Amino acid sequence: LGNRYKLDIDYKEMVSEAVEYGTKICVGILDVDSFKAANDTYGHVTGDEYIRTISECIIKIVAPIGGAYRYGGDEIVV
């Protein structure tokens, strides 16, 4: 996943391209349920693996059409 800084850079480029070519952009924010509970119960290493596994699934889905970025602890922007 990209981070918030990468999102800021890519977002500006995506908007510029959309304006130039007259295309549309779709943005979604995903909030991973129960992440804090898993992180607190099983530790940060497990929490990181939890996010990594979810991120890999999201990346496979959106890679052909866009990007995915970790916006916060358990928020992912696509």
**Chain segment 2-56, per-residue pLDDT in tens:** 999 999 999 999 999 999 999 999 999 999 888 888 888 999 898 889 889 999 9
More confident position, 72 or 31 = 31
Contact 29, 77 (CB under 8 A): yes
Q: What is the largest CA-CA distance in the chain?
A: 48
Is 74 considered catalytic here? yes
Residue with tokens 């889905």: 61
Instruction: Report the chain's terminal Cα–Cα distance, integer Å.
Output: 10
Residue 73's pLDDT band (cuts 50, 70, 90): confident
Cβ neighbours, 10 Å, residue 68: 22
Contact 55, 68 (CB under 8 A): yes
pTM for this predicted structure = 0.83
